[in-house]
Amino acid sequence: MTTENNDETGVQDVQSATETAPAMSKKVPAVETNMLTRHYGNMTALSMLNLTVNQGDLFGFIGSNGAGKTTTLRILATFLKPSSGTANVLGKNVVTEADAVRHIIGYMPDFFGVYKDMEVTEYLDFFGACYRIPSKQREKTVKDVLELVGLSEKTGALIGALSRGMQQRIGLARVLIHDPDLLLLDEPASGLDPRARIEMMAILQELQRMGKTIIISSHILSELQSLCNRVAIIERGKLIYSGPVQGVKQQMEMNHIVWVTVGGEPDRAIGFLKTRSEVSEAEMVDNRIRVTMASHDADVSVIAKILVENGIAIHGLKEEEVGLEEVFLRVTRGDTQ
């Protein structure tokens, strides 16, 4: 009897704890804009931009020159006020809480000035002081950020004597000096040689692993494709796509193409393929059969099945991979099919 009462009490305690326990808090987006608009006189640089960047994202911001990328980043960095709409960084409004926002972001513009006659450590120490980092702490902070960007051996070097790639990394070290949660990087690999670009991208991946949220605008789309987990495409101030890199093709309703090489009788193979509802089109192109599937989720295995069942040898079957550059080119010229 006593055991039953204890069991009932235990159940009641669990129910009571469940009822009174606070709901799991949902992470605030790193960036959230709502109908964000910016006019320059009669020109509209941004038009009702609704954008969400989650904490921990390495987010690629893609667009042609003049599409509105830099305007968006400058608003998020509190350097520009929107004409209308709102923008929040980690829950803080970029207009009404600008000072708080500046302490949690690091902004690296596409062109930034460096004090070429200053030594590397002197330069970074200066910006550490601007963020009111105590002098005793600054020495270690400067050492840490230089190690992070791979320039520990350049502590006493004059900035003006460094290569363009090293100066870019010094610029990145500068925006890291106060340990911001969000990095806004406008074309950080602009003008760099291939090796310097690879080194820069490796640093960004390491920063993401450390828990930083990064928004990077770039024209080097092939690198963004492998670097970023999510992207946004902007054209003439309007958002065209925002989401996972893998979802761009489906969102843009681009054709699902499969290339097939057969051992012989290509005309017969094309005839059989055209009888299937999963296949929209089949045609001979450069000694291969180009098969356009009727939908993105159509079962590609049906191609092999029907050809084998009809005695046609298959020498090769490969799905066409549409890269970010191709998607961008089609989208920005209005060819989304």
Residues 6+ apart with CB under 8 A from 155: 119, 120, 121, 143, 146
pLDDT digits 0-9 by tens, 208-222: 999 999 999 976 677
184/125 Cα distance (integer angstroms): 21
138 band by pLDDT with thresholds 50, 70 and 90? very high
52/215 Cα distance (integer angstroms): 11
- Considering Cα of 235, then 241, then 242, then 245, what sign does the dihedral take? negative
Confidence (pTM): 0.73
Q: Class of 255-321 per CATH?
A: alpha beta
pLDDT of residue 336: 42
Q: What percent of the chain has pLDDT over 90?
A: 47
**Of 158 and 222, more confident:** 158
CATH number of the domain at 31-248, out of 3.30.420.40, 3.40.50.300, 3.30.2310.20, 2.60.120.260? 3.40.50.300
- Considering Cα of 154, then 159, then 160, then 164, what sign does the dihedral take? positive
Domains of the chain, by residue range, sit at 31-248, 255-321
* pLDDT at residue 48 is higher than 90: yes
What residues does 37 pair with on adjacent strands?
Answer: 84
Backbone angles phi, psi at 135, to 5 degrees: -60, -40
